[in-house]
Amino acid sequence: MNDAPDVNTKDALLAAAMEVFADKGFDAATVRDICGKANANVAAVNYHYGGKDALYVAVLEEVFPQEENDRFVPDANLSPEEQLRAYLLALISEIYERGDDLITQRWAIFLREIAKPSHNLDFIVRRQVQTRADELRAIVSDIMGPGTPDHVLAFASSSIWALAMDHVTTQPILDRLSPPRPRVQDHLELFVDHVLKFSLGGLKAIKE
């Protein structure tokens, strides 16, 4: 008799959980939802993962991998302003194009954690946000020059991040305004250039 765990069922549960948690969030998602999508017995989550909490952690580890190739590496031949545009293009493309299921689930879970933080938000910040925040702060520091106070770098970096992220949360409202506002994914390069110009204008004003 083979007592080894059913790898296919375990993988199916993980894939199903990624979809369900992205769609419903941790609190609203149920083990029954996940097992139903995975065509598994409701006891399978406890057997393979030890419960819903541990399964959610497994999903976060899958959706927010610790990979060096996920980092933004600026081109040393570019000016700081050009590096900022390259950074914004990479970030905004990932947020709004969402061509990969994993990226779609990543941002869906990320936004749900922002709206209703769980104790796992610290994990997400370490894996998803901290590196990107450090990268952006370094670029802003190069633009602003030496001696820029830490609070200025912090406020400026978070303002640029907010500009890039804004339409993720406000687009449903913008769609209902008259006339409807353009969707970022339909005008990606224009939006990148808008955020860049707005950001550089703000940084210039701060320096003055």
Within the chain, all domains assigned CATH 1.10.357 are found at: 68-207
pLDDT at 116: 86
pLDDT at 122: 92
How far apart, in whole angstroms, are the C-alpha atoms of residue 153 and residue 150?
5
pLDDT at 4: 46
How far apart, in whole angstroms, are the C-alpha atoms of residue 120 and residue 110?
11
How far apart, in whole angstroms, are the C-alpha atoms of residue 198 and residue 192?
10
List, for residues 17-51, the tens digit of each pLDDT value. 999 999 999 999 999 999 999 999 999 999 999 99
List average pLDDT for each run of 10 residues in the chain, which is 208 residues long.
63 95 92 95 94 95 73 83 95 79 83 87 88 93 96 97 88 86 89 97 93
pLDDT at 81: 97
Report domain 7-63's class: mainly alpha
CB 135 within 8 A of CB 72: yes
Report domain 68-207's class: mainly alpha
Within the chain, all domains assigned CATH 1.10.10.60 are found at: 7-63
List, for residues 57-76, the tens digit of each pLDDT value. 999 999 888 765 566 777 88
pLDDT at 174: 86
